Structure 1
Amino acid sequence: MASGNAIRGSRVGAGPMGEAERGESAPRIRIPFWCANGHETRPSFASDAQVPDTWDCPRCGFPAGQDRANPPAPPRNEPYKTHLAYVRERRSDADGEAILAEALAKLRGEA
């Protein structure tokens, strides 16, 4: 048996929803963007808005451009480097040996 509640599924103070309540929406244009994987996305912009050169693809996250034949290249991800890898970039093996010898001498009490 129905409860007879006429406002079921509505919140208090909710009125009619429509263009009259919200005002007129801005004229829109849909611009196609393509990523390096060939995915197409068509976000909509206000007709007087400045359209960006690139847009992130919602499927793969790569940057997408407006030229289908020439999409932007995907970003190159650098692999994670450990602290030791950064130290090896700054120091040569000879520098490392000298620092190690100095630290060992300090530990042994020779310095």
Structure 2
Amino acid sequence: MTGGHAIRGSRVGAGPMGEEERGEVAPRRQVFYYCTRNHVSAPYFAQDAEIPETWDCPRCGAPASQDEENPPPSPRLEPYKTHLAYVKERRSEEDGAAILEEALAALRERRRL
């Protein structure tokens, strides 16, 4: 026996919806993009929309283009650099030693007070 709910098992917006309820679909076109890993993505664009030259592949994230024979190359990923690596790019070993000695001297001076 049901609990007297007439809309049991349904949700807001459920039910058959045709074009008469939603309105007509805007004119659109499907564009195919190809990435270097042979993935194909085919998004739809409005008929009058500007079509982008490249598109990010939804499967691997690599850039994709409309040219199946020559897809764009995958971007070169730079390895993660630590803060110390960036500091070593800007400073020489001698500069680093001088800065460290200056910081240690300032620390020792504060401890004396």
TM range (shorter): 0.7 to 0.9
Superposition pairs for residues 1-111 of structure 1, below 5 Å?
Answer: 7-11=7-11, 16-107=16-107
CA distance in 2, matches of 1:13, 1:103: 66
Equivalent pairs, count: 109
Q: Which moved more, 1:12-21 or 1:88-97?
A: 12-21
> How far off is 1:99 after superposition?
2.2
CA distance in 1, matches of 2:52, 2:44: 12
> How far off is 1:47 after superposition?
1.4
Distance 1:95 1:5, change over 3 A: closer
Alignment gaps of 5+ in structure 1:
none
2:45 aligns to what SS in structure 1?
A: strand
Distance 1:108 1:47, change over 3 A: closer
Alignment gaps of 5+ in structure 2:
none
Distance 1:14 1:90, change over 3 A: closer
Q: TM-score, normalised by structure 2?
A: 0.77
CA distance in 2, matches of 1:30, 1:13: 27
Q: CA RMSD in A?
A: 2.8
